Amino acid sequence: MKPYCFANDTITDSKEASLHPLDIGLIRGYAIFDFFRTVGTHPLFLEDYLKRFTLSAEKAGLPLDYSRDELRDIIYQLIEKNDHKDGGIRMVLTGGISANHFLPARGQLFIFCEPLMLPSQEKYKNGVKLLSVDYVRPLPAIKTTNYTYPCWLSLDWKSQGAEDVVYHHDGRVSESSRSNIFLVKQGQIYTPQRDILWGITRKKVMELAGNISLSDFSLEDLLNADEVFISSTTKRILPITRIDEVQVGHGKPGPHTRKLMTDFLTMEIENAGAVKRN
């Protein structure tokens, strides 16, 4: 993490930031967060993230003492003080100290600047593997910190050569643990719209591709797709070339995926550049 963070209502030393352990953010896993990147020092798609974060707080019943304008101000101050280039920014709002240690209360806001860990060039070039898991997240539309299950699953991913999981339940694929998922079949791109987090990168992919079909599909559809890819803030667009022991399509990133990867990088650079020119 970078030297300065926002904690206890002020910009302060990141190492000194602290949470009381009885906050239900810890003892009940009740907190919301969001995470975005800076391109150079430009916070990419910041307005989308601020909107989602404040909506998550509202849906989670957590009072947030800062408006979007105030959050934006703090974020720009942190970027400047940390000289935070090509990094990540994490906002967390905890559930607070609760009288019955359960009911959501009034929590703490933290904002940290972090180094980014993007996938390697090799992963973008060759694609990665997902493991299928029968699961569906509760409250997927709120960006909670509820990752207990996939964190536990991740203890075993590497030994199986996998990058992440794909959730499916009752015949429907929903998402990966921290990414949205897309399949391409006969030139048409599909992505689920139920039981998912509404990813900002997913939204940008939809803008770029123009004609994505929002529809349910099964794990079998995914295994029989021509191309599969996932999208997320920290992965951009990442090709999936294997699911469990099944090769997807030709086992290489396909043309639709590669075009979107390029288009997304262009969009990113244009977005940062457009802001600088203003």
Contact footprint for a second copy (CB under 8 A):
1, 7, 15, 17-31, 33, 60-61, 90, 92, 94-95, 100-104, 108, 110, 112, 114, 117, 135, 138-139, 142, 144-152, 154-155
Residue with smaller CB distance to a second copy, 109 or 212: 109
d(CA 2, CA 113): 5
Residue with smaller CB distance to a second copy, 77 or 154: 154
At its nearest, how many Å lie between a second copy and the CB of residue 132? 15
Torsion angle defined by CA atoms of residues 142, 49, 57 and 143, in that order, rounded to the nearest 10 degrees: 20
At its nearest, how many Å lie between a second copy and the CB of residue 226? 30
At its nearest, how many Å lie between a second copy and the CB of residue 97? 9
Cα of first residue to Cα of last residue in the chain, in angstroms, is 30
d(CA 98, CA 108): 12
Residue with smaller CB distance to a second copy, 120 or 215: 120
At its nearest, how many Å lie between a second copy and the CB of residue 137? 9
d(CA 25, CA 192): 30
Query: Could you give the strand order of the β-sheet that contains 31-39, starting from the edge strand earlier in sequence?
Result: 10-13, 4-7, 109-115, 87-94, 31-39, 42-43
Residue with smaller CB distance to a second copy, 1 or 209: 1
Residue with smaller CB distance to a second copy, 170 or 245: 170
Using the structure block, give the residue that is written with the tokens 């352990």.
21
Residue with smaller CB distance to a second copy, 28 or 72: 28
Q: Alpha-carbon torsion 235, 239, 243, 244, what sign?
A: negative
- 80 CB burial (10 A radius; 0-12, 13-18, 19+): exposed
Residue with smaller CB distance to a second copy, 51 or 59: 59
At its nearest, how many Å lie between a second copy and the CB of residue 100? 6
Residue with smaller CB distance to a second copy, 236 or 256: 236
Q: 76 in helix, strand or coil?
A: helix
Q: 154 in helix, strand or coil?
A: helix
Phi first, then psi: what are they for 24, rounded to 5°? -70, -10
**Residue 257: which residues within 8 A CB-CB, separation 6 or more?**
184, 227, 229, 237, 239
Query: Would you state the structure tokens that stand for residue 133, as one six-digit string?
Result: 């898991």
At its nearest, how many Å lie between a second copy and the CB of residue 104? 6
At its nearest, how many Å lie between a second copy and the CB of residue 146? 4
At its nearest, how many Å lie between a second copy and the CB of residue 30? 4
